[in-house]
């Protein structure tokens, strides 16, 4: 089923701030292969724009990001999906570490698994009191 709207929204606020918003609210902003590509495109836009001095990364609705899309991972494992599982620069498409501009994670809910790692890779993390954090990799011995 195709998702409505862009998977990652890029917008400029004020003169020098870009907002990058993960936009899969029906899946709690789970990271799919297409979201990898969309997020990488947003990072490239922000990196290339000399007028952007800082970036805010957030999620749509009540979740920052719940990590990888497990149903999509299962589809890959079953051979139902083909091609690369990640973005154009591999899993580093998720990481803003190559960015030479400060990135603020505005955590508005769940940040678990890969979403927790994504938040940790930002320079500053700001969260609402109802935010929930989890590192499920430990539970699954990953």
What does DSSP assign to residue 22? E
Q: Is the pLDDT of residue 115 over 50?
A: yes
Q: Quick one: CA dihedral 56, 61, 63, 69, positive or negative?
A: negative
Average pLDDT for residues 78-90, to the nearest whole number? 72
Q: Is the pLDDT of residue 141 over 70?
A: no
**CB of 6 within 8 A of CB of 24?**
no
**CB of 94 within 8 A of CB of 115?**
no
Residues in contact with 140: Cβ distance below 8 Å, sequence separation at least 6, in sequence order = none
Structural domains of the chain sorted by starting position, each given as residue range(s) with its CATH number in brackets:
8-139 (3.90.226.10)
Q: What is the pLDDT of residues 34-67, one digit of tens each?
A: 998 899 899 999 999 999 999 999 999 999 999 9
pTM of the predicted structure, to 2 decimals: 0.87
Angstrom distances, CA of residue 23 to CA of 4, 15, 29, 81, 89: 9, 23, 6, 22, 21
């Amino acid at each position: 089923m195709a998702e409505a709207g862009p998977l990652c929204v890029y917008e400029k606020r004020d003169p020098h701030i870009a907002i990058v918003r993960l936009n899969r609210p029906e899946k709690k902003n789970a990271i799919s292969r297409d979201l990898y590509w969309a997020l990488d495109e947003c990072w490239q836009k922000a990196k290339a724009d000399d007028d952007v001095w800082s970036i805010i990364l957030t999620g749509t609705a009540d979740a920052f990001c719940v990590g990888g899309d497990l149903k999509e991972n299962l589809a890959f494992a079953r051979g139902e999906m083909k091609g690369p599982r990640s973005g154009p620069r591999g899993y580093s498409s998720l990481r803003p570490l190559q960015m030479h501009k400060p990135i603020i994670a505005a955590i508005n809910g769940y940040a678990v698994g890969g979403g927790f790692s994504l938040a940790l890779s930002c320079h500053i993390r700001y969260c609402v009191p109802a935010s929930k954090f989890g590192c499920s990799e430990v539970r699954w011995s990953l």
